[in-house]
């Protein structure tokens, strides 16, 4: 276990955020922060997860911890350490909680014992820095095993889960059978999506708190017009020759509408089917954008699914292939990667997210924040974010490629006013998915 030292949020950044949400919301936020501070009564709100970098939870905690502190709420962040065996078990638990039914993901004899023993020892280490008035927010399956060791030493332990499935599978049931007994003594559980609260936890006090995005992060900050062309060139979306990490048949036609999906190369993101479905969309161009698989050598699945995409791209009729490209963004500088994603999302006339399953779907939130129209599968948190026809378009059956092509064409062909969808999408994110929503929800959680 180690404690993460997050740099303080500059007062000017906090004030820019307060201006962005306007005076009424800023008052509500500051009032909630005062009530939360009183409730903590000298204690600290601790977030605990299993990594300081990589993944949506770490990205969010880098923002939320300084944000709470900038509003006067004592907040800190600790990370549990682990050896390869521990992380192997947590990877299985995560895949199962996402519904995997593959034998390779099942728990093996001894896995759970090793996991609980390891986290019991980590709980002992955490106790050395915790005070009796502290309240814990433990994130995801990597921390569930801390609950038994910590529930009696602090003023509260809540477990917050960022993964889930819309309908249970044998895999998700296996995960919950393992995790539920460990969570018995939690004061409550929190999910990002209501449909993801499993039956096994139905007797708990449960709350729904979606993730939030930070408008001033490199991924979301406004990009000055003079920086955009250079960034787009590096995404393989400029008028010149594309960089070597882009698979393309010639430059993009800047006059044609651009459709973008940004995702990890993963089965559930269904990137290869986006390519196939796109063949029925006239005129528009498509860019599938993901991380360079070579930069994540421990994730062989991404390399596999990128190869599946490459094969699907190669098999496209030449006329369609010329309108599509695969982009593997460099990952050695994460802020730079985030700015490239930012530029690509802003350049898109339409963002798609044709996932087969989804936790929350932050790429959708990011695109909506940039006032882009989005076509997303009606799965996981995408269905919560998009109100069909108002703040985006939902694809009811993510396997229906003809319906996908129709929705895309409605926007790229102009039958649907994409700009109006985009404006309402941004307003939706402004209203529901910025960090003040998190602080208000956490205050509600601890004060009721």
State which of residues 32, 64, 119, 262 lies at the interface with ligand UDP (CB under 6 A): 262
State which of residues 362, 393, 421, 445 lies at the interface with ligand UDP (CB under 6 A): 362
State which of residues 82, 156, 164, 361 lies at the interface with ligand UDP (CB under 6 A): 361
Minimum Å gap between C-beta 37 and ligand UDP is: 30
Task: Measure the CA angle with vertex 78, ends 189 and 84; round to 5°.
Answer: 90
Burial profile 125-139: b = 16 or more Cβ within 10 angstroms, e = fewer: ebeeebeeebbbbbb
Instruction: Rank residues 48 and 262 by Cβ distance to ligand UDP and give the closer one.
Output: 262
State which of residues 337, 377, 412, 437 lies at the interface with ligand UDP (CB under 6 A): 337
What is the side-by-side strand order in the sheet with 393-395?
246-248, 324-329, 285-291, 258-262, 350-353, 374-377, 393-395
Q: Could you tell me how many residues of this chain bind ligand UDP (CB under 6 A)?
A: 17
CA–CA dist 250, 148 (Å, integer): 58
DSSP conformation class of 145: G
Mutual angle of helices 418-432 and 362-369, in 10-degree steps: 110
Question: Contact between 161 and ligand UDP (CB under 6 A)?
Answer: no
Residues in the chain, total: 448
Instruction: Rank residues 9 and 382 by Cβ distance to ligand UDP and give the closer one.
Output: 382
Question: Contact between 329 and ligand UDP (CB under 6 A)?
Answer: yes
Question: Contact between 398 and ligand UDP (CB under 6 A)?
Answer: no
Question: Contact between 188 and ligand UDP (CB under 6 A)?
Answer: no
Residue in 284, 305, 261, 312 with CA at minimum distance from that of residue 410: 284
Q: Is 276 helix (H, G, I), strand (E, B) or coil?
A: helix
- Per the CB < 8 A criterion, the answer to whether 188 and 206 are in contact is yes
Q: Which of the ranges 28-36, 104-112, 283-291, 382-390 carries the binding residues for ligand UDP, by CB under 6 A?
A: 283-291
Residue in 81, 82, 80, 77 with CA at minimum distance from that of residue 4: 77
The tokens describing 298, both together, are: 């421990």
Chain positions 287 to 326 lying near ligand UDP, rule: CB under 6 A, are: 289-291
Quick note: the x/- pattern for ligand UDP over 38-77, rule CB under 6 A, is ------------------x---------------------
Q: Which of the ranges 200-208, 285-293, 412-420, 429-437 carries the binding residues for ligand UDP, by CB under 6 A?
A: 285-293
Quick note: the x/- pattern for ligand UDP over 340-359, rule CB under 6 A, is -x-----------------x
Question: Contact between 360 and ligand UDP (CB under 6 A)?
Answer: yes
Q: Where does 183-323 show beta strands of DSSP type E?
A: 188-191, 206-208, 246-248, 258-262, 285-291
Residues engaged in binding ligand UDP (CB under 6 A): 56, 219, 262, 264, 289-291, 329, 337-338, 341, 359-363, 366
């Amino acid at each position: 276990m180690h404690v993460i030292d997050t740099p303080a949020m500059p007062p000017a950044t906090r004030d820019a955020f307060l201006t962005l949400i306007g005076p009424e919301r800023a008052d509500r936020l500051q009032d909630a922060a005062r009530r939360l501070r009183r409730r903590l009564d000298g204690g600290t709100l601790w977030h605990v997860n299993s990594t300081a970098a990589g993944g949506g939870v770490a990205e969010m905690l880098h923002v939320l911890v300084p944000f709470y502190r900038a509003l006067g709420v004592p907040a800190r962040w600790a990370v549990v350490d682990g050896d390869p065996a521990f992380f192997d078990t947590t990877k299985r638990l995560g895949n199962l909680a996402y519904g995997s039914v593959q034998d390779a993901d099942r728990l093996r004899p001894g896995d759970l014992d090793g996991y609980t023993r390891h986290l019991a020892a980590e709980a002992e280490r955490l106790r050395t820095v915790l005070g009796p008035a502290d309240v814990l927010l433990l994130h995801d399956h990597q921390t569930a095993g801390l609950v038994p060791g910590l529930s009696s030493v602090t003023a509260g332990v809540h477990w917050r889960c960022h993964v889930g499935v819309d309908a249970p599978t044998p895999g998700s049931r296996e995960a919950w059978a393992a995790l539920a007994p460990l969570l018995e003594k939690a004061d409550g559980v929190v999910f990002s999506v209501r449909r993801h609260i499993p039956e096994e936890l139905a007797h708990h006090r449960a709350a729904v708190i979606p993730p939030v995005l930070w408008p001033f992060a490199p991924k979301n900050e406004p990009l000055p017009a003079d920086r955009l062309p250079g960034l787009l060139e590096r995404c393989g979306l400029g008028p010149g020759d594309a960089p070597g990490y882009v698979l393309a048949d010639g430059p993009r036609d800047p006059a044609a509408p651009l459709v973008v999906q940004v995702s990890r190369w993963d089965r559930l993101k269904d990137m290869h089917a986006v390519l196939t479905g796109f063949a029925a969309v006239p005129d528009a161009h498509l860019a599938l954008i993901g991380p360079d698989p070579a930069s994540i050598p421990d994730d062989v699945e991404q390399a596999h699914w990128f190869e599946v995409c490459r094969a699907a791209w190669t098999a496209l009729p030449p006329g369609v292939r010329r309108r599509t490209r695969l982009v593997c963004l460099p990952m050695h500088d994460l802020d730079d990667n985030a700015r490239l994603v930012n530029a690509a999302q802003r350049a898109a006339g339409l963002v798609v997210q044709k996932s087969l399953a989804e936790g929350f779907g932050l790429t959708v939130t990011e695109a909506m924040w940039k006032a882009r129209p989005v076509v997303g599968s009606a799965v996981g948190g995408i269905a919560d974010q998009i109100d069909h026809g108002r703040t985006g378009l939902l694809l009811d059956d993510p396997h229906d490629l003809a319906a996908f092509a129709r929705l895309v064409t409605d926007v790229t062909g102009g039958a649907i006013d994409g700009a109006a969808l985009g404006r309402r999408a941004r307003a939706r994110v402004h209203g529901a998915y910025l960090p003040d929503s998190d602080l208000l929800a956490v205050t509600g959680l601890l004060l009721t």
